[in-house]
Amino acid sequence: MAEFEPVLLRRIAKKASPWLDAYRADGGYRALQKALEEMSPGQVVDAVKASGLRGRGGAGFPTGLKWTFLPKDHPGPIYMCINADESEPCTFNNRILMEEDPHQVLEGIILSCYATRAATAYLYLRYEYGRGYRVLQRAIDELYGHNLLGRNILGKDFHLDIFLHRGAGAYICGEETGLIESLEGKRAWPRIKPPFPAVEGAFRKPTVVNNIETVACVTHIIDRGVEWFKSMGVPPDPKNPRDAGSYGPKLYCISGHVNNPCCVELPMGITLRDLVNEHGGGVWKGRKAKGAIPGGISMGIMTEAEFDTPLDFAGPGKVGCLGLGTAAVTVFDEETSIVDVLHNICRFFSHESCGQCTPCREGTGWMLKIAERLRRGQGRLEDLKILEEVGDKIGIMPGTTICGLADGAGWPVKNAIRKFRPEFERYIRSAEKSSLLELVGGH
């Protein structure tokens, strides 16, 4: 572990890191030059496929495989959408990449467009990232000035335009079809699938939607090779044929009750305990941890006893969480009331549910009302059963909603109840009221 050198974060906090000259001096756009001169688009796709790169946005879908779903020899335009609507709570790795090293991201976008034959890319940026917007726009303008964007890039028969599009800061715009709808100027209601975006996406044309961190990884896969990428991480579990493995470096965000909240780059597969203790500086105020959220709150909750779980794509699933998600870890200490945690989770999802599917629209509202009542000391034991049931039944996995964000709304709730049931029962029996009167970060 000691010899690991950050790659994605290599240029963070360096002088003039967002500028093209500095990026080129650090070897930037070497990968693009190499790809355009030596590789066909198909070879780029093959390289990404061989690397085992999985989407960093949360679902962990193999990126190369996603690109192969595009129709072959499509006569019309193909669109690339870059998902920078980083709205999963506790997650900030995309922001750091965009603000500190935009050219790394843009090179990845250009490479991805070359591979997928897309001539237009839309970078969907959440509204709150004002600095990211300014930095990216400046970087894009630089690229147009240096023939790295526009027509005949680097003298080759390859054209590309990148448009920055600012969303209005809704969680649902991070869902890929919700993002496409929002991009088209409509209400961000996720679409019913099929057709999948690869067949009919933005403006009814084949579309790929990739995360910022994913495309940043593409840059380094082309630059350093597939073998380098596969030298890190966790190989697939031979007992599970559906496990695609977790290769490559990953950005972990650490926040919450730790001494040193930060974003670190590590090979996949570090345990949560190591992450918190070595990189997060341990739990604050000398307390012990009560639990943690492994990758954005929609992934569920891990108890302190489960902290030895490796944070790769398969790990959190083994302890009842939904998955790795965005690998944004939030730790809460032993003095945190789990009822307040539950309430905050319910409040977020009730506010952010798009309202299209009945089970999610009404379910999240119901869970919030119950959580509010629990905090007022008016909970009933049967409320726990209802919360668990609603949490179980909303989502794309049981089939009751259109998009997967509903699974993420139910998962932390049922995790909280199942893993901390004694505390809930004690809270309800003693008719305790929450000591936290002011909500943190209330809307």
Only one residue has tokens 């240029």, namely: 11
Residue number with CB closer to other proteins (400 or 434): 400
Cα gap 348→53, rounded to integer Å: 31
According to the binding rule CB under 8 A, does residue 288 interact with other proteins? no
Binding to other proteins, residues 321-350 (CB under 8 A): 350
For 249: left if phi > 0, alpha if psi spans -120 to 50, otherwise beta; the answer is beta
Helix axes 30-38, 212-224, angle to 10 degrees: 70
| Vertex 242 angle, CA 238 and 243, to 5° | 60
114 with 41: CB under 8 angstroms? yes
The site that binds other proteins (CB under 8 A) totals a number of residues, namely 33
- Shortest CB 349 distance to other proteins, Å: 8
- Shortest CB 339 distance to other proteins, Å: 16
According to the binding rule CB under 8 A, does residue 355 interact with other proteins? yes
Sole window of 32-40, 149-157, 283-291, 369-377 interacting with other proteins (rule: CB under 8 A): 369-377
According to the binding rule CB under 8 A, does residue 411 interact with other proteins? no
According to the binding rule CB under 8 A, does residue 402 interact with other proteins? yes
Residue number with CB closer to other proteins (294 or 395): 395
According to the binding rule CB under 8 A, does residue 391 interact with other proteins? no
Residue number with CB closer to other proteins (100 or 388): 388
Helix runs in 236-312, H state only: 272-274
The secondary structure of the chain in percent helix, strand, coil, rounded to multiples of 5, reads 45, 15, 40
According to the binding rule CB under 8 A, does residue 401 interact with other proteins? yes
Residue number with CB closer to other proteins (244 or 370): 370
Which residue in the set 92, 129, 133, 189 belongs to the binding site for other proteins (CB under 8 A)? Answer: 189
Q: Which two tokens stand for residue 247?
A: 């290769």
CB atoms within 10 A of CB 342: 25
In three-state secondary structure terms, 66 is helix
Which residue in the set 373, 432, 434, 436 belongs to the binding site for other proteins (CB under 8 A)? Answer: 373
Q: Cβ neighbours of residue 110 under 8 Å, at least 6 residues apart?
A: 32, 148, 149, 153, 160, 162
According to the binding rule CB under 8 A, does residue 399 interact with other proteins? yes
Which residue in the set 365, 418, 433, 436 belongs to the binding site for other proteins (CB under 8 A)? Answer: 365
How far lies 405's CA from each of 128, 173, 353, in Å? 21, 11, 8
According to the binding rule CB under 8 A, does residue 376 interact with other proteins? no
According to the binding rule CB under 8 A, does residue 370 interact with other proteins? yes
According to the binding rule CB under 8 A, does residue 169 interact with other proteins? no
- Shortest CB 382 distance to other proteins, Å: 8
426 burial class (0-12, 13-18, 19+ CB within 10 angstroms)?
Answer: exposed
- Shortest CB 172 distance to other proteins, Å: 8
Residue number with CB closer to other proteins (28 or 201): 201
According to the binding rule CB under 8 A, does residue 433 interact with other proteins? no
Q: Cβ neighbours of residue 319 under 8 Å, at least 6 residues apart?
A: 302, 306, 309
Which residue in the set 48, 105, 140, 357 belongs to the binding site for other proteins (CB under 8 A)? Answer: 357
126 with 166: CB under 8 angstroms? yes
**Nearest alpha-carbon partner for 62 in 210, 233, 196:** 210
According to the binding rule CB under 8 A, does residue 207 interact with other proteins? no
- Shortest CB 389 distance to other proteins, Å: 8
Residue number with CB closer to other proteins (326 or 353): 353
Q: Which H or E run includes 250?
A: strand 249-256
- Shortest CB 137 distance to other proteins, Å: 29
Residue number with CB closer to other proteins (282 or 379): 379
- Shortest CB 347 distance to other proteins, Å: 11
53 with 218: CB under 8 angstroms? yes
Q: Running DSSP on this structure, what letter comes out for residue 439?
A: P
Q: Cβ neighbours of residue 327 under 8 Å, at least 6 residues apart?
A: 56, 93, 250, 251, 252, 253, 294, 295, 311
- Shortest CB 12 distance to other proteins, Å: 35
- Give the interface with other proteins as residue ranges (CB under 8 A): 170, 187, 189, 192, 350-359, 361-366, 369-370, 372-373, 382, 386, 393, 397-402
